[in-house]
Structure 1
Amino acid sequence: MNETNTAGPAAAKRARVRNRRGEGGRLREEIISAAAALLDETGDEKAITLRSVARKVGIAAPSIYPHFPDQPAIMLAVVQREFAALDACLRTAVRDAGDDPRGRLYALCHAYLGYAQSHPERYRTMFGGLWIPTLGDSSLTEEDLVNLGATAMRLLADVLTDCVSAGQSAITDPEQDAVALWVALHGLAHQHAATRIFPWPGERIADTLIERIARLRDA
């Protein structure tokens, strides 16, 4: 993707101070942060171009190429960083919930829903698939995409397994049921974001989903 830098005098005044040698990693992180900020501001992955990101950082568009070959590579980095943030959020919730497996499961699921509500544009990009170009049309490969979210799913399966081991869940396939529970949580998060007129059956809908899919019971 070739884009010429058309920044005028106003942009030049806020030009970024050039990194010293060895600080290229900092510029890479600034590019990712700028793309994430544009996503929050516009809610539109198409608004994130090499030119708009460069303008946000205060650099010329060609300065991006040593760090990212194209726009999809920038979006991949944004999504990877958000999945890492989601994973950290979920692990903190599980850790803070204490020793009770069922309590940890509730904490993880509610933390997931809270993350989706707090970061709606980023969440939509993470799970909506709108930013993913056709493989072969960009620098992205299938390997770049298949493991996105894998650590969070692994954590959910592990917490479900702990519930089974403690006699608090009657499920027999934690791996499969982790996927089922995530699909339910994702659907709930999506509908909360997409519509305000859905006839929600009370405030306990999330707990109802957790209890039924995880087949929770008293130990």
Structure 2
Amino acid sequence: MQNRLLADIGNTHVHILDNGQIFHLKHEEAIDHYQDRKLYYISVSHTLDQKITQIQNWENIAAKVVLQGAYETMGVDRKALCLSHRDGIFVDAGSAITVDIVKNGTYKGGFILPGINAYLDSYRRISPALDIKINQSIALDKLPLTTKDGISYGIIASIKALIDQHRDDQPLYFTGGDGQFLSRFFEDAIFDERLVFDGMYNALGAN
């Protein structure tokens, strides 16, 4: 089971778990490299759906990714993430930041925030003076004294406050491109880029 080739297909990249290693490839690159191999995938890329359904070696397992309590339009990648563990708060920090809560294997709800780059883009649109890169080492225990730190603090502290509000001593899991960075601001948080793939394995094992 654990040797199965898995792919999580997003809007710009295909994330592939191949023999224990994760690769992040552009759509065409992934198709060219893996179209002759048996692969199980989930996809949120509607523009790519018609093309990948014609690849005979690739199997869409979305119908097997069943999360109790999930709402009808919930993304299959979020469902897979939530299937990685029976309890916890699951944060996928990418283009958007999704936060989902699962208790005893049942989905309890969640919310969606802009991703860090989306926050920064919104500041840029307000004024060129607010066009900054986030301070990766911003401290949240004191008020900022610069524009860069003020923006960084506003973004990170607001994300942290909302997640902390719903934590209730549950395990806190992070994945996604900004997941490792964000996880540093939470006590006992776990960053694991394999979580979606773990959920896919669990879904396949149950069917």
TM-score by length of 1: 0.23
Structure number with bigger Rg: 1
Q: Which has the higher strand share?
A: 2
TM-score by length of 2: 0.24
